[in-house]
Amino acid sequence: MTTAAPAACRQENRADGGRARLWAFGALAVLLVLGAAFSESLCPFDPYAQNLSAALQPPSPEHFFGTDRYGRDLLSRVIAGSRASIFGTILLVTLIAALGTVVGVFAGWTGGRLDAVLMRLSDMFLAFPGLVFALAVAGVLGGGLHNAILALAAISWPKYARIARSQTLAVRESAFMKAARLSGSPEGKIIRKHLLPNIAGPILVTAMLDIGTMMMELAGLSFLGLGAKPPAAEWGSMMSESRGLMTTVPWSVYAPGLAIFVSVMVFNLLGDAVRDALDPKMRER
């Protein structure tokens, strides 16, 4: 009894700490999303207004991040670029998670030859280096933010398909699923009400942890000229525009780079907190 009580207290303290981390990083992520949604109202200056007389000014109280080569306020452009960078990433992760889950559930539930064909197809996509394949697809599609999202979606769905398939195979033969089938419920209802809620946890955790990775890859395509096109405000594109000024005007590159760093860190820490909250093994450690 004397040893069990401290252990229980420690486990409860870890659980409370995990919930506090989840709420804290969740609040920061919500602030980033809200800031992106209302970016037009938060910009102190017009992010697209050029003023060559104020070009390449260093950070100051008036221009917190300085100005770029066209005299545009970098803070305003970073705020305006959050909409494309953050919402584009969330759209991308939602797309690949939904597509991969549908393919994985269909393969795992159906089984047989169709399962083998779908999994071999996912193996083909996984065999290519991810970013190289995305560069090729984005180049064929002609660039642009939407085409960059489609290119990354084309290479990223197999991971979710494999997770959904493995979870489906594990849950499909469980006792409660057999009872649901014996009750005469249609397969669609069984999948919607019994299967998907029980496999959603690992998929959600993977999606949360994937936001930071997809944000960097989307910014990478824009940096290489295959994503958002100038003068559109997008963090990767902004870094690409100013890369030639790195040694002389470093703040023009640091400003969008700092925005990427902070956003990726927040979403990665949120993903870790969600994983700890949903994984019983992590809670027991």
114-125 average pLDDT score: 89
Judge whether residue 12 has pLDDT over 80. Answer: no
Q: What is the pLDDT of residue 257?
A: 93
Q: 180 is written with which tokens? A: 């649901």
Judge whether residue 219 has pLDDT over 50. Answer: yes
More confident residue, 244 or 5: 244
Superfamily of domain 77-284 in CATH is MetI-like (1.10.3720.10)
Q: What is the pLDDT of residue 6?
A: 57
- Encoded amino acid at 95, one letter: L
Judge whether residue 98 has pLDDT over 90. Answer: yes
Q: pLDDT tier at 134 (50, 70, 90 boundaries)?
A: confident
Placement of tokens 């759209």 in the chain: 91
- Encoded amino acid at 280, one letter: P
Burial 177-209 (b: 16+ CB within 10 A, else e): beebeeeeeeeeebbeebbbeebeebbebbbbb
Task: Please check whether residue 178 is in contact with residue 124, taking contact to mean a CB–CB distance below 8 angstroms.
Answer: no
Q: Convert the pLDDT of each residue in 45-84 to its tens digit.
A: 999 999 898 888 999 999 999 999 899 999 999 999 999 9
DSSP H helical ranges for the chain: 4-37, 39-42, 74-82, 88-110, 112-127, 130-141, 145-172, 175-182, 187-190, 196-223, 235-242, 251-278, 280-284
Judge whether residue 267 has pLDDT over 90. Answer: yes
153-170 average pLDDT score: 91
Task: Give dist(CA 42, CA 32) in Å, integer.
Answer: 12
Angle at Cα 39 formed by Cα 89 and Cα 88, nearest 5°? 15
Task: Give dist(CA 104, CA 239) in Å, integer.
Answer: 37
Judge whether residue 172 has pLDDT over 80. Answer: yes
Task: Give dist(CA 224, CA 158) in Å, integer.
Answer: 25
Judge whether residue 161 has pLDDT over 90. Answer: yes
Cis peptide before 202 (omega within 30 of 0): no
Judge whether residue 282 has pLDDT over 60. Answer: no
- Rg of the chain (C-alpha set): 23
Q: What is the pLDDT of residue 231?
A: 83
Q: Convert the pLDDT of each residue in 176-197 to its tens digit.
A: 887 877 787 788 888 888 888 8
Q: Convert the pLDDT of each residue in 135-149 to its tens digit.
A: 888 888 887 889 999
Cross-strand pairs, 73:
67
- Encoded amino acid at 135, one letter: L
Cross-strand pairs, 67:
73
Angle at Cα 142 formed by Cα 139 and Cα 145, nearest 5°? 100
Task: Give dist(CA 149, CA 155) in Å, integer.
Answer: 10
Q: pLDDT tier at 1 (50, 70, 90 boundaries)?
A: very low
Percent over 90 (pLDDT), the chain: 46
Domain ranges of the chain: 77-284
Q: What is the pLDDT of residue 31?
A: 95
Task: Please check whether residue 206 is in contact with residue 163, taking contact to mean a CB–CB distance below 8 angstroms.
Answer: yes
Per the prediction, the chain carries an average pLDDT of 86
More confident residue, 181 or 94: 94
Other residues' Cβ atoms within 10 Å of the Cβ of residue 233: 25
Helix or strand or coil: residue 143? coil
